[in-house]
Amino acid sequence: MPELAEVEFYRRKWNAGCGAVVTNVHLHGEKRIFRGVEPGTLVKAITGAKLVSSAAHGKQMAFRFTRGVWLGIHLGMTGELLVEAADFTPRKHDHLVLFQRKQALVFSDPRQFGRVLFFQGSGEPDWWRDLPPQILSREFSLRWMAERLARHRKLPLKAALLDQSTFAGIGNWMADEILWQARFHPRTTAGALDKDELKNLWQTTRSVTRKAVSSVAKPSASSEFSDPPKGFLFHVRWRRGGKCPRDGGPLRHETIGGRTTAYCPKCQGA
């Protein structure tokens, strides 16, 4: 499932359409990614509107148009945003296509775990306004994070990092990366951290996020996003016989927080 760095990559792709008017809309309105959305209303509102800006927040994106129109995109497990030629012919899994004079903005999702959200009016929609603080924002403070973790003291850190109501956009590989770089065992409970350890977790979370976005979401001639920086656990975490980049010890894999977890028992504790 795309995490915040990959989501930012896809957001930047659709920015190719900023400043251009949507001339036509193609969609599969009966698909579940449009649950809660009236397809006819969406088509009427966006056709003739200009894409003016976009933003990413955790695993969600918002594209803002004239006429007070907001389009929210959640990629789910297999979704991706593409930019195709203006004469593009939609395929089976291209569930939403916004045609513009010079290009077509495509949301493709084979397994349909993604979602399209729609809003038209003044102000921000609640599905955007009510999201938790972004990890790189001032609002995501050490104090705020510590207070959130204090509510789930018995939760393993791996599961805590996957909680989207606190760590918006952090998924499986980023959670493993944060814990490895901070040297925490993934089964360590949130309530077991002292003041200095909480600060370490907070700083490492922000550092990994910043570096991941800078590397993964950078512009590329390819349609695929780039890999995280060299030296990250990411590059060896699923490799057969993978060794810890820090101490050379063998990695271990367990299911923690409902997800397969990679860690180094030597430098993260047995």
Active site residues: 2-3, 59, 259
What does DSSP assign to residue 246?
A: T
pTM over 0.75? The answer is yes
| pLDDT at site 269 | 82
Question: Quick one: what percent of the chain has pLDDT higher than 90?
Answer: 90
Where do the CATH 1.10.8.50 domains begin and end in the chain?
142-263
Where do the CATH 3.20.190.10 domains begin and end in the chain?
4-129
**Residue pointed to by tokens 């925490």:** 184
Residues 93 and 105: their CA atoms lie apart, in Å, by: 14
For the beta carbon of residue 53, count every other beta carbon within 10 angstroms. 11
Categorize the per-residue pLDDT at 51 as very low, low, confident or very high, splitting at 50, 70 and 90.
Answer: very high
| pLDDT at site 240 | 84
Give me the helix-helix angle, 195-216 and 142-150, nearest 10°.
Answer: 110
Topology given in CATH for the domain delimited by 4-129: N-terminal domain of MutM-like DNA repair proteins (3.20.190)
The two beta strands, 51-57 and 60-65, are: antiparallel
Please check the confidence at residue 119 and state whether its pLDDT lies above 80: yes
Helix (H) or strand (E) holding 205: helix 195-216
Please check the confidence at residue 221 and state whether its pLDDT lies above 70: no
Residues 6+ apart with CB under 8 A from 240: none
Helix (H) or strand (E) holding 160: helix 157-161
- Note the pLDDT tens digit of each residue in 128-186: 999 999 999 999 999 999 999 999 999 999 999 999 999 999 999 999 999 999 999 99
